[in-house]
Amino acid sequence: MFVLMLLAVAVANEDVEAQKALGARHFKRLGVEASADRHRWQVRFDQGEGSVRSDAGRVVTNLADGRLIRFSGVRPVVAEPRRDVVWSSHEAAMAGLQAYARRANVPSEWKVTKETFSLDVVGPEHELKPGRACVWLRQMVTGLPTLNGGNRAFLEADPHTGKLLSFSMTYLVSHEGDKPVLSVEQGKQRAIEALGKELGVARLEALPKVESVRLCYSLPQRDRAVDEPLSLSVTPRVARLAYEVVFAGTPDPRRPERIRHVTLVVDAQNGDILRFNLMILPAERTSR
């Protein structure tokens, strides 16, 4: 880690060779065999990120600290179902992906939220679907999720080869508040009051019923300056303790076959409206 920090200092000054050296370290940690001929490697600096592209894939790092934030490998060209399998079961694939997560410095306490696993298979239209193993992880703070962003990671690998294909991570979200000042009922009433003032914007004829209220953390709807020089992946952000208030869906006045869904996120400390989300979905999708 100390070496990575030293490299990060050089990389922050957009030193091409230092970025290549940092990229080489990340390739090695991920078990990626990149060409030793670094003269062919392509380096790019943009919005606080540094990327290195080699014959074996691309790594993107945070220029401020040298940490890996994205990786994309070379996907194999599969002409027919492969017989050789490194991870033959869901359990083996998840263990392999977790090992990659540790190599990429994903915190071990992050919770798995979704897993998928499949081997090469021929579909009903005779198309070949290459096998893939994926895992989604995210940070839970005092057991609460962070909505609309937060610290999370995604990994995808080829179960037939055991090689990593894709990785991404965000880790710069901090969390404010551990105990709510507003009660659940106060948070609910604040959302009702706020929506009542915006019925025209939401194109609602009357206030819908509240379906659910839950405590969570949430990022504000607009927490970045328009001229922010850094990418979202490398910008420190703050999530607030909040109540997510979900209202019952109501038919769209102009298109009754579509349902309008409104969700408000209320700051649990001061009652500010952090987010006002409106989604319009087909009625049949809503009823599933």
Query: Could you report the per-residue pLDDT of 33-48, keeping only the tens digit for each?
Result: 999 889 999 999 999 9
Mean pLDDT over residues 141-162, rounded? 96
For residue 254, the model assigns a pLDDT of 74
Q: How far is CA 282 from the centre of its chain?
A: 26
- Cα(59)–Cα(56) distance, integer angstroms: 10
Q: Which of 7-21, 36-50, 112-126, 258-272 has the lowest mean pLDDT?
A: 7-21
* 75 has a pLDDT exceeding 90: yes
For residue 40, the model assigns a pLDDT of 92
For residue 160, the model assigns a pLDDT of 98
* 51 has a pLDDT exceeding 70: yes
DSSP 287: T
Mean pLDDT over residues 63-71, rounded? 97
Query: Could you report the per-residue pLDDT of 109-129, keeping only the tens digit for each?
Result: 999 999 999 999 998 888 899
Mean pLDDT over residues 192-198, rounded? 91
- Cα(272)–Cα(265) distance, integer angstroms: 9
Mean pLDDT over residues 227-246, rounded? 91
- Output the six-digit token pair for 216: 């969570």
Report the percent of the chain where pLDDT is more than 90. 74
For residue 288, the model assigns a pLDDT of 47
Mean pLDDT over residues 166-186, rounded? 96
Q: Enumerate residues 6+ apart whose C-beta is below 8 A from 38.
A: 20, 24, 54
- Cα(113)–Cα(137) distance, integer angstroms: 6
For residue 257, the model assigns a pLDDT of 82
Q: Which of 31-40, 98-107, 161-170 has the lowest mean pLDDT?
A: 31-40
* 237 has a pLDDT exceeding 80: yes
* 184 has a pLDDT exceeding 70: yes
For residue 162, the model assigns a pLDDT of 98
C-alpha dist (Å) from residue 148 to 32, 39, 165, 219, 228: 32, 41, 25, 6, 19
For residue 124, the model assigns a pLDDT of 86
Mean pLDDT over residues 250-272, rounded? 88
Q: Which of 67-81, 131-145, 191-205 has the lowest mean pLDDT?
A: 191-205
Can you give the pTM of this predicted structure? 0.86
- Output the six-digit token pair for 39: 């003269």
